[in-house]
Amino acid sequence: MSAEIKLCLIVARAQNGVIGKDNDLPWRLSDDLKHFKATTKGCPVIMGRKTWESLPRRPLPGRDNIVLSRDGQYAAPGARVFTSIDAAIETARALAAAAGKSEVFVTGGSAIYAAALPFADRLYITEVATTLDGDASFPAFDETDYIETRREAVAASEKNEFAFIIRTLDRRI
Ligand SMILES: NC(=O)c1ccc[n+]([C@@H]2O[C@H](COP(=O)([O-])OP(=O)(O)OC[C@H]3O[C@@H](n4cnc5c(N)ncnc54)[C@H](OP(=O)(O)O)[C@@H]3O)[C@@H](O)[C@H]2O)c1
Q: What is the pLDDT of residues 135-172, one digit of tens each?
A: 999 999 999 999 999 999 999 999 999 999 999 999 99
Q: What is the pLDDT of residues 76-112, one digit of tens each?
A: 999 999 999 999 999 999 999 999 999 999 999 999 9
| 53 C-alpha to ligand 1 centroid (Å) | 9
What is each CA distance from 95 to 36, 72, 87, 101, 157, in whole angstroms? 19, 21, 12, 8, 37
pLDDT at 173: 87
The structure's pTM equals 0.97
Place domain 2-171 in its CATH homologous superfamily: Dihydrofolate Reductase, subunit A (3.40.430.10)
| 86 C-alpha to ligand 1 centroid (Å) | 16
| 157 C-alpha to ligand 1 centroid (Å) | 29
Minimal-distance CA residue to ligand 1 atom 13 = 109
Residue of 18, 70, 107, 123 best suited for mutating to test ligand 1, as the one with most atoms within 8 Å of CB: 70
Residues with CB under 6 A from ligand 1: 11-12, 19-21, 23-25, 47-51, 54, 68-71, 74, 83-85, 107-112, 115, 136
| 69 C-alpha to ligand 1 centroid (Å) | 9
Contact between residue 44 and residue 5 where contact means Cβ atoms under 8 Å apart: no
